[in-house]
A = this chain, B = another copy of it.
Amino acid sequence: MPTRDEIVEFFKRDFPQNTCLVEDIGDRSATVVQHIDDSHLRPGQTVSGPVLMTVADIALYVAILGTIGLVPLAVTTSMTINFLRRPASDRSIVGVSKLIKVGRTLIVGEVNLYSRDKADMVAHAIGTYSVPPSSRTSKG
């Protein structure tokens, strides 16, 4: 399986627009962090929904890469996100993902999203990903 450095390198090359930092990669799991500035806020001084969705997507994608190898073709097929609490406007958003199914063509994972150093989840997401079977470098 790829190391954290290899995954970071892969992201730099293939997703140059990504601004999340990869903080940790574990067994079918990952932690990513998005620094928050004014460009991520909505009126009411809260982090916008699409920013939270982006962090959830990256957290799941990193967990997938760490589990099945550097597969550029994993495609998000659905996402359900529940917005639970207003995120702090002055703290990074932390996304902690866990894959709950790693199938031959379908991967499902969930993400808990927090404001850095706060205990209460600000949002929860479930994402599903489609992986072309031929692109797999290892069995999940």
- CB within 8 Å of B: which A45-78 residues: 48-51, 53-54, 57, 72, 75-78
Is A106 within 8 A of B130, CB to CB? yes
Residue in B14, B15, B50 whose beta carbon sits within 8 Å of that of A50 in the complex: B50
Taking a contact as CB atoms under 8 Å apart, the answer to whether B77 and A82 are in contact is yes
> Which of A1-9, A89-97, A121-129 contacts its partner?
A121-129
Min Cβ gap A135→B in Å is: 13
Minimum C-beta distance from A87 to chain B (A): 12
Judge whether B84 and A108 touch: CB under 8 Å: yes
Q: A124-B110, A130-B106 are in contact. Are A83 and B72 (CB under 8 A)?
A: no
User: Does A79 reach chain B (CB closer than 8 Å)?
Assistant: yes
Q: Name the CB-closest residue of B to A86.
A: B75
A88 touches B (CB below 8 Å):
no
Give the residues in chain B near A14, CB-CB below 8 Å: 43
**CB of A118 within 8 A of chain B?**
no
| A interface list, Cβ under 8 A from B | 14-15, 17, 39, 42-43, 48-51, 53-54, 57, 72, 75-85, 100-101, 105-106, 108, 110, 121, 124, 126, 128, 130
